[in-house]
Structure 1
């Protein structure tokens, strides 16, 4: 998924590209079913929390889950890992967001209550 067009394609479509919301370049999306606005809000929250706690993944996961539960309702799951990752699960449609940020893989999804 190309979130940031190359400079050549950007110059051709500058008006279109600059008006579309997008993630910070540090975030690399693995897979996402949630909307772009939610991805941006969530990645911005990760950016702020990570800076505050200086990389403590337990703290980041806890704060992120509390943020998601309070903003979007309960039953969110947050997994932060480094290195090889495999997972299998079910989730509510349009509520998953998996990405890489600062060497960690973030797996975020919501299940029914």
Structure 2
């Protein structure tokens, strides 16, 4: 993320994808930024003179996708929170931290029990997810470079690394 996006996300502490110019001015004073920076941000970002700057407006100006910024913010927040086992490195997640923790713990146990047989392991993971969180979960286990494009039910994606494997988990509509 670029510096403008980082500042925006620091100011947007409630995560509603909007900041007020008043909040921006307070941030600038607190962090020793020049008032001309605030004026420039206002001129570039608040074209409607609404007194607010939205993430969508900022991304449009910077040529970024708001969804990517939201995903990066979510991943950063989750990586900074406790809950997921220390052995698990979260790559990307849209699901709540309690689900990540539960699923991570379950998979950690299944890896211990069925780790040698990867086909059986992915089948067990899928059955666990279907039983605990409803049907239509997708599970991919990879051990090299991975790229994925996918459609998923909101707040159900969880990609992480455990040992030398990457786990890609998401739920689709039935």
Which TM-score bucket, shorter chain as reference? 0.7 to 0.9
Normalized against structure 1, the TM-score is what? 0.81
Q: Report whether the alignment pairs 1:63 with 2:97.
A: no
Per-residue deviation, 1:52? 0.6
2:64 is equivalent to residue 3 of structure 1: no
Confirm or deny that 1:105 pairs with 2:105: no
Alpha-carbon distance in 2 for matches of 1:3, 1:30: 9
- Which has the higher Rg, Structure 1 or Structure 2? 2
Q: Distance in 1 between the 2:162 and 2:99 partners?
A: 17
Structure 1 residue 3, shift from structure 2 partner: 3.2
For the aligned residue pairs, the C-alpha RMSD in angstroms reads: 1.5
Aligned residues: 98
After the TM superposition, which segments of 4 or more aligned residues of structure 1 sit over 6 Å from their partners?
Answer: none
Instruction: Tell me if structure 2 keeps the 8 A contact 1:50–1:56.
Output: no
C-alpha distance after superposition, 1:66-87 (max 9, x if no partner)? 0010111110000000010011
Alignment of 1:30-41 (within 5 A): 30-41=91-102
Deviation at 1:21, TM superposition (A): 4.8
Q: Is the 8 A contact 2:115 2:121 kept in 1?
A: no
